[in-house]
Amino acid sequence: MTAPLVLVITSLEDVTADRVIGALNEREVPVVRVDPADIGAGLSFGARIGAGAPSWGGRLRTASREVELGEVAAVYYRRPTLYSARYGHLPAQQRDFSAAEARHGLGGVLGHLHGARYVNHPSAVTAADFKPAQLQRAAQLGLAIPPTLVTNDVEQARKFAADHGRIIYKTFRGLPRDEDGHTGAIWAQRVDPESFDDSLAVTAHLFQAEIPKTGDVRVTVVGRRVFAQQIAAPDGALDWRRGDWDQLLHAPIAVPMPIEAALHSYLSAFGLAFGCFDFALTGDGREPGDWVFIECNPNGQWGWLPDAGDITTAFADILSTSTEGGGAR
Protein backbone atom coordinates (compact mmCIF):
# COMPACT_ATOMS: atom_id res chain seq x y z
CA MET A 1 0.00 0.00 0.00
CA THR A 2 1.42 3.42 -1.00
CA ALA A 3 1.95 5.85 1.87
CA PRO A 4 -0.17 9.02 1.66
CA LEU A 5 1.44 12.18 0.28
CA VAL A 6 1.86 14.92 2.89
CA LEU A 7 2.04 18.54 1.80
CA VAL A 8 3.83 20.79 4.31
CA ILE A 9 2.93 24.45 3.83
CA THR A 10 5.44 26.64 5.63
CA SER A 11 8.36 29.01 5.25
CA LEU A 12 11.85 27.83 4.40
CA GLU A 13 13.27 28.46 7.87
CA ASP A 14 10.89 26.59 10.14
CA VAL A 15 12.68 24.26 12.56
CA THR A 16 9.37 22.98 13.95
CA ALA A 17 8.29 21.78 10.52
CA ASP A 18 11.80 20.34 10.02
CA ARG A 19 11.17 18.02 12.97
CA VAL A 20 7.93 16.68 11.52
CA ILE A 21 9.35 16.33 8.01
CA GLY A 22 12.31 14.40 9.42
CA ALA A 23 9.97 12.00 11.25
CA LEU A 24 7.89 11.47 8.10
CA ASN A 25 11.04 10.84 6.05
CA GLU A 26 12.10 8.16 8.54
CA ARG A 27 8.76 6.44 7.89
CA GLU A 28 9.31 6.79 4.13
CA VAL A 29 6.18 8.90 3.84
CA PRO A 30 6.27 11.10 0.70
CA VAL A 31 6.56 14.74 1.75
CA VAL A 32 6.59 17.93 -0.29
CA ARG A 33 7.38 21.26 1.32
CA VAL A 34 5.86 24.40 -0.20
CA ASP A 35 5.89 28.07 0.69
CA PRO A 36 3.03 29.67 -1.28
CA ALA A 37 4.82 33.03 -1.20
CA ASP A 38 7.35 31.53 -3.65
CA ILE A 39 4.70 31.93 -6.36
CA GLY A 40 6.47 32.94 -9.54
CA ALA A 41 9.63 31.36 -10.92
CA GLY A 42 10.03 29.28 -7.75
CA LEU A 43 6.46 27.99 -7.67
CA SER A 44 4.09 27.40 -10.58
CA PHE A 45 0.76 25.63 -10.65
CA GLY A 46 -2.28 24.79 -12.72
CA ALA A 47 -5.48 23.65 -11.03
CA ARG A 48 -8.62 22.58 -12.88
CA ILE A 49 -12.18 21.73 -11.96
CA GLY A 50 -15.26 20.97 -14.06
CA ALA A 51 -18.46 18.99 -14.35
CA GLY A 52 -16.58 15.77 -15.01
CA ALA A 53 -14.03 16.46 -12.29
CA PRO A 54 -15.83 18.11 -9.34
CA SER A 55 -12.75 18.57 -7.16
CA TRP A 56 -9.53 20.43 -7.78
CA GLY A 57 -6.86 18.55 -9.69
CA GLY A 58 -3.67 19.59 -11.43
CA ARG A 59 -0.04 20.02 -10.61
CA LEU A 60 2.05 22.16 -8.31
CA ARG A 61 5.71 22.58 -9.23
CA THR A 62 8.48 23.87 -6.97
CA ALA A 63 12.15 24.28 -7.81
CA SER A 64 12.78 20.65 -6.88
CA ARG A 65 9.46 18.77 -6.73
CA GLU A 66 6.19 18.31 -8.57
CA VAL A 67 2.91 17.49 -6.83
CA GLU A 68 -0.32 16.05 -8.19
CA LEU A 69 -2.97 17.86 -6.15
CA GLY A 70 -5.34 14.90 -6.17
CA GLU A 71 -2.74 12.72 -4.45
CA VAL A 72 -2.37 14.92 -1.36
CA ALA A 73 -3.79 13.02 1.62
CA ALA A 74 -2.72 15.38 4.41
CA VAL A 75 -1.66 19.00 4.76
CA TYR A 76 0.50 20.27 7.61
CA TYR A 77 -0.24 23.99 7.57
CA ARG A 78 2.43 25.70 9.63
CA ARG A 79 3.66 29.24 9.10
CA PRO A 80 4.02 30.15 5.44
CA THR A 81 5.47 33.50 4.43
CA LEU A 82 2.86 36.21 3.96
CA TYR A 83 1.97 36.77 0.33
CA SER A 84 2.54 40.50 0.84
CA ALA A 85 6.25 39.80 1.37
CA ARG A 86 6.44 38.36 -2.14
CA TYR A 87 5.21 41.62 -3.62
CA GLY A 88 6.80 44.09 -1.22
CA HIS A 89 8.77 45.75 -4.02
CA LEU A 90 5.62 46.83 -5.86
CA PRO A 91 3.64 50.07 -5.43
CA ALA A 92 0.98 49.73 -2.72
CA GLN A 93 -2.01 49.16 -5.01
CA GLN A 94 -0.22 46.57 -7.15
CA ARG A 95 1.20 44.90 -4.04
CA ASP A 96 -2.17 44.59 -2.35
CA PHE A 97 -3.87 43.40 -5.54
CA SER A 98 -1.23 40.76 -6.32
CA ALA A 99 -1.17 39.47 -2.74
CA ALA A 100 -4.96 39.22 -2.58
CA GLU A 101 -5.15 37.41 -5.94
CA ALA A 102 -2.46 34.94 -4.85
CA ARG A 103 -4.15 34.32 -1.51
CA HIS A 104 -7.59 33.78 -2.98
CA GLY A 105 -6.33 31.85 -6.02
CA LEU A 106 -3.42 29.65 -4.95
CA GLY A 107 -4.42 29.79 -1.29
CA GLY A 108 -8.01 28.98 -2.20
CA VAL A 109 -6.96 25.86 -4.08
CA LEU A 110 -4.54 24.69 -1.39
CA GLY A 111 -7.25 25.17 1.22
CA HIS A 112 -9.74 22.96 -0.64
CA LEU A 113 -7.90 19.76 -1.55
CA HIS A 114 -10.57 17.08 -1.68
CA GLY A 115 -10.32 14.43 1.03
CA ALA A 116 -7.14 15.87 2.57
CA ARG A 117 -6.75 16.15 6.34
CA TYR A 118 -5.55 19.57 7.45
CA VAL A 119 -3.45 20.05 10.57
CA ASN A 120 -4.75 22.67 10.93
CA HIS A 121 -6.93 24.15 8.20
CA PRO A 122 -6.03 27.86 7.76
CA SER A 123 -9.65 28.98 8.03
CA ALA A 124 -10.02 27.03 11.29
CA VAL A 125 -6.84 28.65 12.60
CA THR A 126 -8.21 32.08 11.72
CA ALA A 127 -11.53 31.44 13.48
CA ALA A 128 -9.83 30.01 16.57
CA ASP A 129 -7.28 32.82 16.77
CA PHE A 130 -9.71 35.38 18.20
CA LYS A 131 -9.31 35.59 21.96
CA PRO A 132 -12.99 36.52 22.55
CA ALA A 133 -14.01 33.34 20.71
CA GLN A 134 -11.51 31.29 22.72
CA LEU A 135 -12.68 32.56 26.09
CA GLN A 136 -16.36 32.13 25.26
CA ARG A 137 -15.88 28.57 24.03
CA ALA A 138 -13.77 27.65 27.06
CA ALA A 139 -16.40 29.04 29.43
CA GLN A 140 -19.18 27.20 27.60
CA LEU A 141 -17.23 23.96 28.05
CA GLY A 142 -17.05 24.50 31.80
CA LEU A 143 -13.42 25.63 31.99
CA ALA A 144 -12.58 28.34 34.50
CA ILE A 145 -11.50 31.60 32.85
CA PRO A 146 -10.30 34.92 34.31
CA PRO A 147 -12.94 37.66 34.56
CA THR A 148 -12.35 39.58 31.32
CA LEU A 149 -13.27 42.94 29.83
CA VAL A 150 -12.83 43.93 26.18
CA THR A 151 -13.36 47.67 25.83
CA ASN A 152 -12.34 51.04 24.48
CA ASP A 153 -14.23 52.89 27.23
CA VAL A 154 -12.05 54.38 29.98
CA GLU A 155 -14.86 54.44 32.55
CA GLN A 156 -15.64 50.76 32.04
CA ALA A 157 -11.93 49.95 32.36
CA ARG A 158 -11.73 51.88 35.62
CA LYS A 159 -14.83 50.18 36.99
CA PHE A 160 -13.45 46.75 36.03
CA ALA A 161 -10.26 47.55 37.95
CA ALA A 162 -12.26 48.72 40.95
CA ASP A 163 -14.30 45.49 40.91
CA HIS A 164 -11.35 43.13 40.60
CA GLY A 165 -8.33 44.80 42.16
CA ARG A 166 -5.16 43.75 40.37
CA ILE A 167 -5.73 43.57 36.64
CA ILE A 168 -3.53 42.77 33.68
CA TYR A 169 -3.48 43.95 30.09
CA LYS A 170 -2.64 41.76 27.13
CA THR A 171 -2.74 42.25 23.39
CA PHE A 172 -5.03 40.40 21.02
CA ARG A 173 -2.23 39.95 18.48
CA GLY A 174 1.53 40.35 18.37
CA LEU A 175 3.14 43.52 17.11
CA PRO A 176 3.24 43.79 13.30
CA ARG A 177 6.53 44.25 11.51
CA ASP A 178 7.92 47.75 11.41
CA GLU A 179 9.24 49.49 8.32
CA ASP A 180 12.58 47.71 8.73
CA GLY A 181 10.93 44.30 8.93
CA HIS A 182 11.53 43.86 12.68
CA THR A 183 8.91 42.35 14.98
CA GLY A 184 8.38 42.68 18.69
CA ALA A 185 6.04 41.68 21.48
CA ILE A 186 3.97 43.26 24.22
CA TRP A 187 3.77 40.78 27.09
CA ALA A 188 0.95 40.38 29.57
CA GLN A 189 1.53 43.01 32.24
CA ARG A 190 -0.05 44.51 35.33
CA VAL A 191 -1.61 47.91 34.74
CA ASP A 192 -2.40 50.82 37.03
CA PRO A 193 -5.94 52.14 36.48
CA GLU A 194 -4.64 55.57 37.49
CA SER A 195 -2.86 55.62 34.12
CA PHE A 196 -6.08 55.13 32.14
CA ASP A 197 -7.14 58.11 30.03
CA ASP A 198 -9.18 58.89 26.94
CA SER A 199 -6.50 57.37 24.69
CA LEU A 200 -8.15 53.99 25.43
CA ALA A 201 -10.85 55.02 22.98
CA VAL A 202 -8.46 54.66 20.04
CA THR A 203 -8.66 50.85 19.85
CA ALA A 204 -9.83 47.71 21.66
CA HIS A 205 -8.13 46.61 24.88
CA LEU A 206 -8.20 43.29 26.75
CA PHE A 207 -8.16 43.47 30.55
CA GLN A 208 -8.35 40.50 32.89
CA ALA A 209 -8.43 40.04 36.63
CA GLU A 210 -5.05 38.73 37.73
CA ILE A 211 -5.21 35.09 38.79
CA PRO A 212 -3.37 34.30 42.07
CA LYS A 213 -1.54 31.48 40.37
CA THR A 214 0.82 28.87 41.73
CA GLY A 215 2.23 28.06 38.31
CA ASP A 216 1.69 27.88 34.56
CA VAL A 217 1.02 24.90 32.30
CA ARG A 218 1.40 24.46 28.55
CA VAL A 219 -0.78 21.63 27.19
CA THR A 220 -0.12 20.49 23.63
CA VAL A 221 -2.87 18.39 22.06
CA VAL A 222 -2.27 16.52 18.81
CA GLY A 223 -5.20 14.40 17.72
CA ARG A 224 -6.12 12.37 20.80
CA ARG A 225 -2.71 12.68 22.43
CA VAL A 226 -2.11 15.16 25.23
CA PHE A 227 1.25 16.47 26.45
CA ALA A 228 1.47 18.77 29.47
CA GLN A 229 4.40 20.59 31.03
CA GLN A 230 4.35 22.84 34.08
CA ILE A 231 6.51 25.89 33.40
CA ALA A 232 8.25 28.20 35.83
CA ALA A 233 10.37 31.26 35.12
CA PRO A 234 13.33 31.61 37.52
CA ASP A 235 12.55 35.31 38.03
CA GLY A 236 8.87 34.61 38.73
CA ALA A 237 7.75 36.76 35.79
CA LEU A 238 4.02 37.27 35.31
CA ASP A 239 4.40 36.16 31.68
CA TRP A 240 6.99 33.40 31.31
CA ARG A 241 7.34 34.12 27.57
CA ARG A 242 9.15 37.41 28.16
CA GLY A 243 12.42 35.94 29.45
CA ASP A 244 15.07 33.52 28.24
CA TRP A 245 13.24 30.34 27.24
CA ASP A 246 16.43 28.32 27.78
CA GLN A 247 16.23 29.22 31.48
CA LEU A 248 12.64 28.05 31.98
CA LEU A 249 12.03 25.16 34.36
CA HIS A 250 9.80 22.33 33.13
CA ALA A 251 8.11 19.41 34.82
CA PRO A 252 5.54 16.98 33.36
CA ILE A 253 2.10 17.25 34.93
CA ALA A 254 -1.01 15.08 34.71
CA VAL A 255 -4.08 16.73 33.21
CA PRO A 256 -7.31 15.94 35.11
CA MET A 257 -9.72 13.94 32.95
CA PRO A 258 -12.47 16.62 32.90
CA ILE A 259 -9.94 19.18 31.66
CA GLU A 260 -8.62 16.79 29.01
CA ALA A 261 -12.15 16.04 27.80
CA ALA A 262 -12.88 19.77 27.56
CA LEU A 263 -9.74 20.32 25.47
CA HIS A 264 -10.79 17.68 22.95
CA SER A 265 -14.25 19.26 22.79
CA TYR A 266 -12.67 22.67 22.33
CA LEU A 267 -10.59 21.54 19.35
CA SER A 268 -13.56 19.74 17.83
CA ALA A 269 -15.71 22.88 18.13
CA PHE A 270 -13.19 24.86 16.08
CA GLY A 271 -12.42 22.04 13.62
CA LEU A 272 -8.84 21.74 14.85
CA ALA A 273 -6.60 18.69 15.12
CA PHE A 274 -3.94 20.45 17.17
CA GLY A 275 -3.63 23.27 19.67
CA CYS A 276 -1.29 24.66 22.35
CA PHE A 277 -3.24 25.56 25.50
CA ASP A 278 -2.00 27.80 28.29
CA PHE A 279 -3.38 27.47 31.82
CA ALA A 280 -2.72 29.16 35.14
CA LEU A 281 -2.77 26.89 38.17
CA THR A 282 -4.31 28.03 41.45
CA GLY A 283 -3.40 24.85 43.38
CA ASP A 284 -1.25 21.80 42.84
CA GLY A 285 -3.06 20.88 39.63
CA ARG A 286 -4.66 17.68 40.88
CA GLU A 287 -8.20 19.06 40.85
CA PRO A 288 -9.98 20.45 37.77
CA GLY A 289 -10.77 23.59 39.75
CA ASP A 290 -7.05 24.34 39.94
CA TRP A 291 -6.90 24.93 36.19
CA VAL A 292 -7.75 28.36 34.72
CA PHE A 293 -7.85 28.63 30.93
CA ILE A 294 -5.79 31.50 29.55
CA GLU A 295 -5.71 30.92 25.79
CA CYS A 296 -5.16 28.43 22.99
CA ASN A 297 -2.77 29.03 20.12
CA PRO A 298 -4.12 26.99 17.16
CA ASN A 299 -0.73 27.16 15.47
CA GLY A 300 1.53 27.30 18.49
CA GLN A 301 5.21 26.54 18.94
CA TRP A 302 6.20 23.33 20.71
CA GLY A 303 9.69 22.47 19.45
CA TRP A 304 11.29 23.99 22.57
CA LEU A 305 9.44 21.74 25.01
CA PRO A 306 11.17 18.78 26.72
CA ASP A 307 8.65 16.36 25.17
CA ALA A 308 9.10 17.74 21.65
CA GLY A 309 10.24 14.31 20.45
CA ASP A 310 6.98 12.69 21.52
CA ILE A 311 4.97 15.57 20.05
CA THR A 312 6.84 15.13 16.76
CA THR A 313 5.85 11.47 16.73
CA ALA A 314 2.22 12.42 17.33
CA PHE A 315 2.29 14.78 14.35
CA ALA A 316 3.88 12.11 12.17
CA ASP A 317 1.18 9.67 13.28
CA ILE A 318 -1.75 11.94 12.49
CA LEU A 319 -0.34 13.03 9.12
CA SER A 320 0.68 9.59 7.88
CA THR A 321 -2.44 7.61 8.77
CA SER A 322 -5.98 7.85 7.47
CA THR A 323 -7.73 6.62 10.60
CA GLU A 324 -7.13 9.61 12.89
CA GLY A 325 -10.01 12.08 13.07
CA GLY A 326 -10.11 15.84 13.34
CA GLY A 327 -8.97 18.80 11.36
CA ALA A 328 -10.20 17.66 7.95
CA ARG A 329 -12.04 20.02 5.66
From first to last of the 329 residues of the chain, give the pLDDT tens digit. Answer: 456 799 999 998 899 999 999 999 999 999 999 999 999 989 999 999 999 888 999 999 998 889 999 999 999 999 999 998 899 899 999 999 999 999 999 999 999 999 999 999 999 999 999 999 999 999 999 999 999 999 999 999 999 999 999 999 999 987 766 666 666 677 888 899 999 999 999 999 999 999 999 889 999 999 999 999 999 877 767 776 776 767 788 899 999 999 999 999 999 999 999 999 999 999 999 999 999 999 999 999 999 899 999 999 999 999 998 534 444 45
My answer on whether 53 and 101 are in the same domain is yes
My answer on whether 163 and 99 are in the same domain is no
Task: Identify the domain boundary among 209, 232, 258.
Answer: 209
My answer on whether 225 and 187 are in the same domain is no
Euclidean distance between CA atoms 150 and 166, whole angstroms: 16
Task: Identify whether 307 is part of a domain.
Answer: yes
Task: Identify the domain boundary among 209, 226, 251.
Answer: 209
* Cβ-proximal residues to 157 (8 Å cutoff; 6+ apart), any chain: 149, 151, 193, 196, 200, 205, 207
My answer on whether 20 and 111 are in the same domain is yes
pTM for this predicted structure:
0.91
Query: How far is residue 78 CA from its own chain's centroid?
Result: 8
> Residue 132 in contact with residue 94, Cβ under 8 Å?
no
My answer on whether 83 and 10 are in the same domain is yes
Number of domains within the chain: 3
Euclidean distance between CA atoms 53 and 273, whole angstroms: 28
3-class secondary structure, 50: strand
My answer on whether 222 and 203 are in the same domain is no
Task: Identify whether 141 is part of a domain.
Answer: no
Q: Is the dihedral of CA 169, 170, 171, 172 positive or negative?
A: negative
> Residue 329 in contact with residue 121, Cβ under 8 Å?
yes
Residue 272 structural domain: 126-130+212-320
Q: Is the dihedral of CA 166, 171, 174, 176 positive or negative?
A: negative
Task: Identify whether 262 is part of a domain.
Answer: yes
Among 172, 296, 167, 188, smallest CA distance to 243 is for 188
